[in-house]
A and B are shown apart, each in its own frame.
Chain A
Amino acid sequence: DVKVTQSSRYLVKRTGEKVFLECVQDMDHENMFWYRQDPGLGLRLIYFSYDVKMKEKGDIPEGYSVSREKKERFSLILESASTNQTSMYLCASSVWGTRSYNEQFFGPGTRLTVL
């Protein structure tokens, strides 16, 4: 079974803090993704990565950055957290190169609250 784990289930941070959200997958997937889920807005893609040290902006990258130093690990960084970044953050991974790449496997999510 694919397993995607996220470092924290719940996180509370203060405005202006630097925040790291970590995601690890154990199935040697090439693709990794970061989404945020907000009521009425569904899942929105922040950043994704096809390979180590490679990153692509998603639909809402502003205020975020990412790091992928190892294939299994994809980090989301909030350089200076703001209250409008309070959200549920979901990490996902998928296999590259076949039609099944569309099937993304998700972690349990991190609920981040910025005060």
Chain B
Amino acid sequence: DQQVKQNSPSLSVQEGRISILNCDYTNSMFDYFLWYKKYPAEGPTFLISISSIKDKNEDGRFTVFLNKSAKHLSLHIVPSQPGDSAVYFCAASPSNEKLTFGTGTRLTIIP
């Protein structure tokens, strides 16, 4: 039972354009959401998060949008850079210590 879903296993975007990564969840108890980035042979690193009391959070080139009614969040990267090529995981938490991760989306930025 996949409570956090990333339906696009991969995405290719031209350098300088916008990358949009999507994530859907089913558990209405989730109230905190995070995005992690993972390079090969490294552990995931935290990128950006959003609480359910907000619908948008911005940090430099990265913006996360949350649509609670649709149980959907998205990560926007503008402008996309070659160093953004990585696997991106969304994760969600229901106000406790545990995170439930999605299956990941491999983003490739084309120079």
The answer to whether A and B belong to the same complex is yes
Query: What is A's interface to B at a CB cutoff of 8 Å?
Result: 4, 9, 31, 35, 40-45, 48, 50, 58-59, 90, 92, 94, 96, 99, 101-109
CB distance A40 to B9 under 8 Å? yes
CB distance B43 to A106 under 8 Å? yes
Q: What CA separation (Å) do A90 and B99 show in the bound complex?
A: 14
CB distance B32 to A99 under 8 Å? yes
Query: What is B's interface to A at a CB cutoff of 8 Å?
Result: 4, 6, 9, 32, 34, 36, 41-46, 49, 51, 89, 91, 93, 97-104
CB distance A94 to B97 under 8 Å? yes
Q: Which residues of B contact A50 (CB under 8 A)?
A: 97
Q: Which residues of B contact A4 (CB under 8 A)?
A: 43
A57 vs chain B, min Cβ distance (A): 11
Given contact pairs A4-B43, A102-B49, A102-B97, a sample of 13 additional A-B residue pairs in the complex whose CB atoms are under 8 Å apart: A9-B41, A35-B101, A40-B103, A43-B44, A43-B91, A45-B99, A90-B44, A99-B32, A99-B51, A103-B34, A103-B49, A106-B45, A109-B43
CB distance A108 to B41 under 8 Å? yes
16 A–B contact pairs at CB < 8 A?
A9-B41, A40-B9, A41-B103, A42-B102, A43-B44, A43-B89, A43-B101, A45-B98, A45-B99, A92-B43, A101-B97, A102-B32, A102-B97, A103-B34, A106-B36, A109-B43
